[in-house]
Structure 1
Amino acid sequence: MTEIKAVVFDIGNVLIEWQPERFFDSVIGADRRRAMFATIDLHGMNDRVDRGETFYDVIVETAARYPDWHDEVMIWHDRWIEMAAPEIPHSVRLLRALRAKGVPVFALTNFGIQTFEIAEPVYPFLTEFDRRYVSGHMGVIKPEPTIYEMVEADCGLPPESLLFADDRIDNLHAAAARGWRTHLFDGPQGWADRLVTEGLLTKGEAQ
């Protein structure tokens, strides 16, 4: 089997928790949140930001389109960093352990240009990747095949030498279709165990 040449991390729900519904439940209550998310395609709105549209402009436009929900939609902009929280400490330790071993570590993430800039000073580990593939800058999001092609072209590594962790199965299926090795992230311990199984970290290093 081809040697793993790089480990690729998704960010949302792998290194940083991303649960907008949970956040809005805490702010406006579960019943009102359910009504809001049923009325407005907020994840679709966020996809526009992840494709590279300007964060503020997209949120303001959406808020204007739904005046009954204007203030709640603006929370997505004004309190975004509270939604993208907290970090997942064990995953951050794994990122740093891999780098300490000399294993190249990449980020491949659906993330907006401005939102990534907001997150960087709050989460310093976002600056620690060997290569960062941020959808907002690339103009394409996972699981569209083009984004994986762009990663391959940039890093120059064979697809089968990349090990990719993501919490969404559709993103992994798209990567696997190109030959990438994949791991469905459902918690940091399972990811740690996979890295040990692959011989990239020892059990002690993966704690």
Structure 2
Amino acid sequence: MKTINRLQKHEIFNGLEQNELEKIAQITITKNFDKDQIIFYETEEPKYFYLLNNGVAKVYKVDSKGNEIVLHNFAAPTMIAEMASIENFKFPASCVAMDNCEFLLIKKEEFVKLLKANPDISFHVIKSLTRKIRGMEGLLNRSLIFDATTKVAHYIIERTDDFIMKKNKEVANELNMTPETLSRVLKKLKDLNILDKDRNILNKDKLETFLDF
């Protein structure tokens, strides 16, 4: 797959003109990471913008006692830790591949120069990042307020097609919970006759009661 086609998988670049994508492709490297391989370490200076093109990556911190604190699991396609690259500060957390991952690494200094020299690209990227920030704010609010069942119910209602088509592992990663927790919630919803064995919704009104708080 050509680099341009890979870039177009990402919302941040979707809609750019061909010549604009070509400029970005010229400063982009495709790199594969094996499962459990470190993508970047906390306090490391960012040299690239990291676009997860395939796979799942985990961003985490380690506390003073050596305990791992998972901040978020990212499923492709998405950009990771872009604020560190934009604001030019050290990574506030580490990132590791949860399975075999493909990343697009956009050279930071060249990309910043490209944004400064091309207002159209810059404006498009800013709009995309703004949408992502709004989405992350919503995710954070749900993580703080919703319990596991409510998170799953919200996902099923808002993204029914994705829920039916995606594997449990993918849905769990997007909800930032373990596959085991997701399986327990789905069993509960099936036992309540809210979902059938194929994960189709049997009783949407009953499912929506989990969102009443």
TM-score tier (shorter)? 0.3 to 0.5
Higher strand share: 2
Question: Could you state the TM-score of these two structures normalised by the residue count of structure 1?
Answer: 0.33
Question: Could you state the TM-score of these two structures normalised by the residue count of structure 2?
Answer: 0.32
Q: Larger Cα Rg: Structure 1 or Structure 2?
A: 2
